[in-house]
């Protein structure tokens, strides 16, 4: 019986170790993965984490990324190929530093990379770069996209052909400095029972490099139909918006930042409002958590990152992938990244 118990113990340890997803690549650090199926293959657009030598600060100055590498996979369980540098900050006329979380989209045979970076005045803006191939190389537009600000762009292409740009992140991402699309450096994150800030959304024009309309704030409601409160840090939007559609409904997912959760909310329009639904991913090793959700041949996957490979260095992260279970009732099964 002792032997059996030990064996059971060993099996449990083995299973738990097996349940920890491995980095998609280990030769570079990668984070903030945006995954898409293009041309029948999986393309992942991550941040490329480096140690830029910038000091740690509350605004994320130590996230000093300079370029993007696109990863390609034949399947979610296959090997990931690093397709090389797709865009470098020195080739973006308006950008000075901090190439943070990007996303990509495809329309009419061209590929578009959307990315945030700080301009010469230290303000985050969102840029776009264009390529003939999913892996690039991408050529940046000379100016940031008019009407954009803050970080973490994500583009959702709806079934009717319309594409929507979501963006935003508070604290180091500067979203709290904007009200009604206007910048005021005196603004801070709301507190108490004031409504929490939401990400922004605007429809792109057919050329994919400009917004077709001013962006709107996306509202996330609680179960009573009230906007989430600013002090509800377990549920309020912090950064990393992502949109996917399931059974005809729109799912907005995002990071709660300082409470380290990935959450989701469900709505009936790409503009929202969205009603809070639950937790997708429990906290990972490292301060940030950031993801995308992608369907590959009928199976949903969560792409995310953690800092296990670097021993917990928060700005040296690794992109990972794990199956995501969309339940028949429309809810999403919570994932524990370490199988506990």
Catalytic annotation, residues: 32, 239
Q: Count Cβ atoms below 10 Å from residue 5 Cβ, excluding itself.
A: 9
Q: Which of 23, 25, 30, 32 contacts ligand FUB by CB under 6 A?
A: 32
Interaction of residue 68 with ligand FUB, rule CB under 6 A: no
Nearest to 163, CA basis, from 145, 183, 151, 189 = 145
Distances (CA, A) of 165 to 117, 177, 333: 16, 19, 26
Residue ranges in 205-244 that form contacts with ligand FUB under rule CB under 6 A: 239-240
Interaction of residue 288 with ligand FUB, rule CB under 6 A: yes
Q: Which of 21, 47, 150, 275 contacts ligand FUB by CB under 6 A?
A: 47
| Burial (CB count within 10 angstroms: exposed 0-12, middle 13-18, buried 19+), residue 120 | exposed
Give the count of alpha carbons within 13 A of 332, CB side only: 30
Question: Three-state DSSP class for 114?
Answer: strand
Q: How far apart are CA 324 and CA 30, in angstroms?
A: 21
Q: Which of 92, 101, 117, 319 contacts ligand FUB by CB under 6 A?
A: 101
Interaction of residue 290 with ligand FUB, rule CB under 6 A: yes
- Give whichever of 174 and 275 is closer to ligand FUB, judged by the CB atom: 174
CB 69, CB 138: distance < 8 Å: no
Q: How far apart are CA 190 and CA 17, in angstroms?
A: 41
Nearest to 49, CA basis, from 72, 19, 69 = 69
CB of 149 to ligand FUB, least distance (A): 13
Interaction of residue 337 with ligand FUB, rule CB under 6 A: no
CB of 126 to ligand FUB, least distance (A): 11
Interaction of residue 148 with ligand FUB, rule CB under 6 A: no
Interaction of residue 306 with ligand FUB, rule CB under 6 A: no
Interaction of residue 272 with ligand FUB, rule CB under 6 A: no
DSSP string over 53-110: -PPP-TT-TT----EEEEEEESSTTSPEEEEEEEEEGGG-TTEEE-----EEEEETTE
- Give whichever of 72 and 290 is closer to ligand FUB, judged by the CB atom: 290
Interaction of residue 303 with ligand FUB, rule CB under 6 A: no
CB of 320 to ligand FUB, least distance (A): 14
Q: Which of 33, 136, 144, 169 contacts ligand FUB by CB under 6 A?
A: 169
Interaction of residue 152 with ligand FUB, rule CB under 6 A: yes
Query: Which residue's entry shows tokens 């989701």?
Result: 264
Interaction of residue 114 with ligand FUB, rule CB under 6 A: no
In the complex, which residues of this chain contact ligand FUB (CB under 6 A)?
31-32, 47, 63, 100-101, 151-152, 169, 239-240, 288, 290
């Amino acid at each position: 019986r002792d032997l059996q118990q030990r064996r059971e113990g060993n099996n449990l340890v083995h299973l738990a170790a097996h349940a920890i997803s491995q980095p998609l690549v280990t030769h570079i650090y990668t984070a903030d993965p945006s995954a898409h199926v293009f041309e029948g293959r999986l393309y992942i657009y991550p941040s490329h984490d480096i140690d830029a030598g910038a000091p740690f600060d509350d605004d994320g100055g130590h996230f000093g990324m300079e370029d993007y590498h696109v990863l390609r996979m034949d399947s979610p369980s296959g090997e990931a190929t690093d397709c090389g540098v797709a865009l470098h900050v020195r080739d973006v006329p308006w950008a000075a530093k901090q190439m943070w979380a990007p996303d990509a989209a495809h329309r009419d045979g061209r590929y578009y990379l959307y990315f945030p970076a700080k301009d010469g005045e230290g303000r985050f803006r969102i840029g776009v770069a264009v390529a003939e191939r999913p892996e690039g190389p991408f050529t940046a537009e000379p100016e940031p996209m008019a009407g954009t600000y803050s970080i973490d762009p994500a583009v959702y292409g709806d079934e009717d052909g319309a594409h929507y740009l979501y963006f935003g992140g508070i604290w180091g991402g500067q979203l709290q400095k904007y009200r009604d699309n206007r910048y005021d450096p005196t603004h801070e994150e709301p507190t108490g029972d004031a409504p929490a800030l939401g990400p922004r959304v605007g429809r792109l024009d057919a050329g994919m490099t400009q917004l077709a309309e001013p962006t709107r704030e996306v509202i996330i409601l609680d179960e009573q139909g009230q906007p989430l409160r600013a002090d509800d840090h377990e549920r309020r939007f912090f950064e990393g918006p992502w949109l996917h559609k399931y059974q005809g409904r729109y799912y907005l997912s995002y990071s709660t930042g300082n409470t380290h959760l990935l959450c989701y909310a469900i709505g009936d329009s790409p503009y929202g409002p969205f009603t809070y639904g639950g937790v997708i991913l429990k906290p990972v090793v490292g301060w940030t958590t950031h993801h995308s959700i992608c369907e590959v041949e009928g199976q949903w996957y969560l792409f995310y990152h953690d800092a296990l490979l670097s021993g917990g260095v928060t700005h040296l992260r690794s992109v990972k992938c794990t199956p995501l279970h969309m339940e028949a009732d429309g809810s999403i099964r919570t994932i524990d990244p370490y199988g506990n």
